[in-house]
Each structure stands twice: as structure tokens, then as C-alpha cells.
């Protein structure tokens, strides 16, 4: 089983009627619902309102993939929590950062850049173009999928060059954006996925759910271990594993 923790700051849904109308139980609940239908995925949720944001080392030790949505309260997440997330990713935990989580503390820590971008809330629609149709994350999409409405994100997106760009978003307003970006940091895999503005039912769109489902399986750890920095002896012929030299 892949143990997923869906983290949401859960503020817009409680404070704005138009958002509550789309996600009455929160964005995290919608994501947990569709992921929870998978036989190989086990889902828990946590929010900013939980003690310590619902994130401790023990909880992360029992998490294979952390999904993060945040927007208006990034600064309410303690630095210590962001560091715990970073350390867990370096060990091998998978992480998926959705939409405005580009400015979340853990994502910025892992990227090391401002993660700034250009943006506009308008009536733009978006086409997400698949760059690598063979990749496990995007292989269920044909050439592209469309979102009737989504917040416009545009370049420059101030991130390190991704290991792989899987999706390019193009908006009816003209902008383009690197909408699906893969990274490795330490032993951990990270996927940034742009769709998911709170005033649109984006997380109910089958293609979006498919990408997130596939991303969970792709970033799930295959190896989880702290990469330490030990002082070691020189290998000598006495070492049993030097046998390969004979």
C-alpha cells in the first residue's frame, strides 16, 4: 500500500462561500476521496488547523507520498514543519505540490529559488499539453486535456530547471507555463502540478485526478534512507567484498 498524506491549509473553503460550494469538506477531502478508491493507496489528511499542522517526524515516517495544497497562509506553517518535510523528501518520501503550493515553504526549501511566477485571475481556459506521452504520470492522457476555467499562471516561473517537464499549460489569454515538473532531491521524487485554483472544480476533473493518481505511484519511494556523511576507512584486500577482484 502507498500511504498518502493530503495536506491542505483549508482556509478558503471555510471563509469563502463560492469555494465552499465547490469543496464543502475542503480540497483535501476531494483529493482523498478519489485517491481512496484505489486498491493500492491508503489516504490520510491533515490541515493547518491540526496541532503542529498535522505534521511530525513520526507522521512523515509513516507517509510514502505527501500532497500539499496551500495559498493564503504559507507563512503560518512553522519553519520547523517545512524542514521536516524537506528532510523526509531527502530521505526518499515522495511529494506532490499542487497549484499555489509553488510558494509553500517546503517547496521553496526544496527548490532553493523564489518560485515566483506571473498570474492573473480571469476567465481564461487552459489546455495542458503532454510533453512525454510515455511517462507513467501522463500516459493516460492523449495529447492534451482542457480546463474550462483556471487561474492563469505564466512564465517566468523561477524554479531550477526541472529534471523533466511533463506538461505545458497554454491559456486562452496567451500565457504558457511549465505545468508539470519533475525533480529528484536526495532520494525523493517531487512533482509540481499547476492546476487547482480554489474557485474552479479542477480536482473533480477526471484528467487532473488521473495525473495525481499516476504521480502518487510514480513518486512513491523505492528506497528510503538518510544519506549520511560517514567517515570511512580505505577499502583493503581484507574486506570480504573485495572478493570480486579475484
Rounded Cα–Cα distance for residues 4 and 7 (Å): 10
The residue among 138 and 202 lying less far from Zn ion, judged by its C-beta, is 202
CB of 128 to Zn ion, least distance (A): 16
Instruction: Give the footprint of Zn ion on residues 174-203 (CB under 5 A).
Output: 197
150 counts as binding Zn ion under rule CB under 5 A: no
Binding pattern for the stretch 103-142 against Zn ion, x by CB under 5 A and - elsewhere: ----------------------------------------
Rounded Cα–Cα distance for residues 183 and 163 (Å): 5
- Backbone φ and ψ for 191, nearest 5 degrees, come out as -125, 125
Q: How many CB atoms lie within 10 A of CB 81?
A: 20
User: What's the grid cell of residue 6?
Assistant: 493530503
Instruction: Give the footprint of Zn ion on residues 87-106 (CB under 5 A).
Output: 100
CB burial string 168-181: b at 16+ within 10 A, e below = bbbbeeebebbbbb
Rounded Cα–Cα distance for residues 155 and 166 (Å): 16
- How many chain residues interact with Zn ion (CB under 5 A)? 3
The residue among 64 and 150 lying less far from Zn ion, judged by its C-beta, is 150
45 counts as binding Zn ion under rule CB under 5 A: no
CB of 225 to Zn ion, least distance (A): 36
CB of 162 to Zn ion, least distance (A): 20
151 counts as binding Zn ion under rule CB under 5 A: yes
CB of 102 to Zn ion, least distance (A): 10
Q: Which part of the chain contacts Zn ion (CB under 5 A), choosing from 20-28, 32-40, 62-70, 150-158?
A: 150-158
CB of 200 to Zn ion, least distance (A): 9
The residue among 86 and 197 lying less far from Zn ion, judged by its C-beta, is 197
Residue 234 per-residue DSSP state: P
Nearest to 168 by CA among 155, 182, 178, 183: 178
- Do residues 35 and 6 lie in contact, with contact meaning Cβ atoms separated by under 8 Å? yes
- Backbone φ and ψ for 67, nearest 5 degrees, come out as -110, 135
Checking DSSP bridges between strand 41-47 and strand 176-185, what pairing results, if any?
unpaired
CB of 83 to Zn ion, least distance (A): 25
The residue among 106 and 196 lying less far from Zn ion, judged by its C-beta, is 196
Residue 122: strand, helix, or coil: coil
The residue among 124 and 151 lying less far from Zn ion, judged by its C-beta, is 151
Provide the binding-site residues for Zn ion, judged by CB under 5 A: 100, 151, 197
Amino acid at each position: 500500500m502507498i500511504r498518502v498524506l493530503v495536506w491542505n491549509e483549508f482556509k478558503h473553503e471555510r471563509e469563502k462561500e463560492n469555494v465552499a460550494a465547490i469543496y464543502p469538506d475542503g480540497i483535501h477531502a476531494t483529493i482523498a476521496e478519489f485517491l481512496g478508491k484505489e486498491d493500492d493507496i491508503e489516504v490520510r489528511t491533515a490541515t493547518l488547523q491540526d496541532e503542529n499542522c498535522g505534521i511530525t517526524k513520526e507522521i512523515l515516517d509513516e507517509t510514502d507520498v505527501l500532497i500539499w495544497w496551500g495559498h493564503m497562509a504559507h507563512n503560518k506553517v512553522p519553519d520547523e514543519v517545512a524542514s521536516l518535510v524537506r528532510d523526509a523528501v531527502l530521505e526518499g518520501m515522495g511529494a506532490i505540490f499542487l497549484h499555489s503550493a509553488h510558494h509553500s515553504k517546503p517547496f521553496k526549501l526544496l527548490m532553493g529559488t523564489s518560485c515566483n511566477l506571473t498570474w492573473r485571475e480571469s476567465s481564461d481556459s487552459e489546455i495542458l499539453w503532454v510533453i512525454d506521452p510515455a511517462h507513467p504520470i501522463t500516459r493516460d492522457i492523449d495529447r492534451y486535456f482542457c480546463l474550462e476555467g483556471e487561474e492563469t499562471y505564466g512564465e517566468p516561473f523561477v524554479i531550477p530547471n526541472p529534471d523533466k517537464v511533463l506538461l505545458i499549460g497554454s491559456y486562452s489569454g496567451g500565457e504558457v507555463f511549465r505545468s508539470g515538473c519533475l525533480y529528484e532531491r536526495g532520494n525523493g521524487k517531487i512533482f509540481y502540478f499547476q492546476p487547482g485554483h480554489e474557485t474552479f472544480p479542477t480536482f473533480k476533473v477526471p484528467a487532473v485526478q488521473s495525473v495525481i493518481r499516476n504521480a502518487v505511484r510514480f513518486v512513491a519511494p523505492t528506497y528510503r534512507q538518510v544519506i549520511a556523511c560517514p567517515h570511512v576507512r580505505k577499502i583493503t584486500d581484507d574486506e570480504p567484498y573485495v572478493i570480486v577482484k579475484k
